[in-house]
Amino acid sequence: MARKSRPPARRETQTSDVDTFLKQVAATPQVRRPQDVGRLVFAMDATASREPTWDRASDIQASMFAETERLGGLEVQLAYYRGFGEFDASPWCADARSLLGRMTAVTCRAGRTQIAKVLSHARDEARRGRVNALVFVGDCMEEDPDYLGELAGQLGLLGVPAFMFHEGGDERARKVFTDIARLTGGACCRFDANSPRQLRDLLAAVAVYAAGGRAALGELADARGGEIKKLTRQLS
């Protein structure tokens, strides 16, 4: 009698897996040339619950570029999901005006989260060329945590830290966002949607990291303190 094939065992995200990935990420050298321009994938949840913060982020994203001018500049790719399976990513933008135009053209639509598409996209971009960091701004998570952990691990092995900015008090989302940040060697920060300055500082900090690395982020943290200092401690 032919043996029945068994379905593959479900992969669990264990603490030991996190430690292994972080060690591999730490062993991956970051090669940067002086003429390199930092590259940052800026991904946002554009479902209906995020509309107020989307508008706010559109207004303040110019600070990402302003903070990096002395470090050689920054290229940003805007990615977002919304509605019924809709996901989109822009070309790389090297100035605030181009990115702002794209962000203000997007309207939020009700739908489920698609964080897996964000992580897969950042991974594929990193395989095609250099990506210094991923930023994700969202408030909830409606996907398989184990699958997201697997994708985050792949992104971490490519040397792309994910900075997960969590709005609101959804504990399930906070836990998964924290795991994604750990697996990639990044950081997870909760922000108050009613504090535009806080979000501005956090976005500027990641932009500085993408353009100038940990040393540049350390200098900014020493000068500004606050949330930037907390983010820097997570990277350390």
Nearest to 175 by CA among 55, 7, 43, 13: 13
Bridge partners of 43, per DSSP, are 79, 136
* Those residues with Cβ within 8 angstroms of residue 114's Cβ, 6 or more apart along the chain or in another chain: 81, 85, 87, 143
Q: Tokens 């994938």, residue? A: 41
Stronger pLDDT, 226 or 205, i.e. the higher one: 205
Q: pLDDT tens digits, residue range 206-217?
A: 888 888 888 888
> Structure pTM?
0.81
Given a cut of 70, is residue 13 above it in pLDDT? no
Tokens 């992969």 correspond to what residue? 11
What does the alpha-carbon distance between residue 157 and residue 144 come to, in Å, rounded to a whole number? 21
- Once rounded to an integer, what is the mean pLDDT over residues 118-128? 97
Cα 9 from chain centre: 29
80-98 confidence digits (pLDDT tens): 999 999 999 999 988 777 8
Q: Is the pLDDT of residue 34 over 50?
A: no
pLDDT of residue 136 exceeding 80: yes
Average pLDDT over residues 134-161: 96
pLDDT of residue 18: 52
Q: What angle do CA 85, 107, 170 make, to 5 degrees?
A: 65
CB 145 within 8 A of CB 179: yes
Question: Sorting pLDDT into bands at 50, 70 and 90, what band is 236?
Answer: low
Q: Of the ranges 9-18, 36-45, 54-63, 90-99, which one carries the lowest mean pLDDT score?
A: 9-18
Range of lowest pLDDT (11-25, 95-109, 119-133):
11-25
Mean pLDDT across the chain:
81
* Cα atoms found within 13 Å of the Cα of residue 173, Cβ hemisphere only: 20
Q: What is the pLDDT of residue 1?
A: 46
Would you state the CATH architecture of domain 43-235?
A: 3-Layer(aba) Sandwich (3.40)
Q: Where are the domains of the chain?
A: 43-235
